[in-house]
Amino acid sequence: MGGYWVYYCINGSDKIVGVKMNSTELKNQLIEHEGLRLKPYKCTAGKLTIGCGRNIEDVGISYEEAMYMLQNDVNICINDLCGIFPAFGSYPENIQRVLTDMRFQLGSKGFRGFRMMIRAVKNQDWPDMIRQMKDSAWYGQTPNRANNLIRMVKAVA
């Protein structure tokens, strides 16, 4: 037994009406008919689609959906960083934000490639962290972002 939701809409006479239906049953029905894919795919109409038939090519996503996904991605980054840096929660906030930003951009594997920087962070050697950030292909590939993050580290170094 699923939960019932009341959906409000404007009918053809410009009157607001409530539509009560079992949202769990409706979702299950749509998943059965549309399928549920967690990675983008081309639907039968050739449109880029994700989830349960969401046409992201024409419809896109809402601001709220984008923020929800961003928060989930940030949570994944922070969980990963806590595994790399047992003292992550005690680092200055600027350092936490820099590491999270880098982990977000580079992904788990790419971030782990910064072995010397990771060592500097574990030693809380912020000047060496900056040196290691500069001594990377990443620094040359995204100089504006890298310099912004380096300024944040310098503020606590």
Cα distances (Å, whole numbers) of residue 83 to 76, 79, 104 = 11, 6, 15
Residue type, 56: I
Q: Over range 96-116, report the average pLDDT.
A: 98
In this structure, what is the dihedral angle of CA atoms 14, 18, 22, 26, given to the nearest 10 degrees? Answer: 10
Q: What is the reported pLDDT for 2?
A: 60
pLDDT at 52: 94
Contact 73, 113 (CB under 8 A): no
SS3 content of the chain, % helix, strand, coil (to 5): 60, 15, 25
pLDDT over 50 (residue 7):
yes
Residue 16, pLDDT score: 75
Q: Residue 13's pLDDT band (boundaries 50, 70, 90)?
A: confident
The Cα–Cα gap between 37 and 31 comes to 10
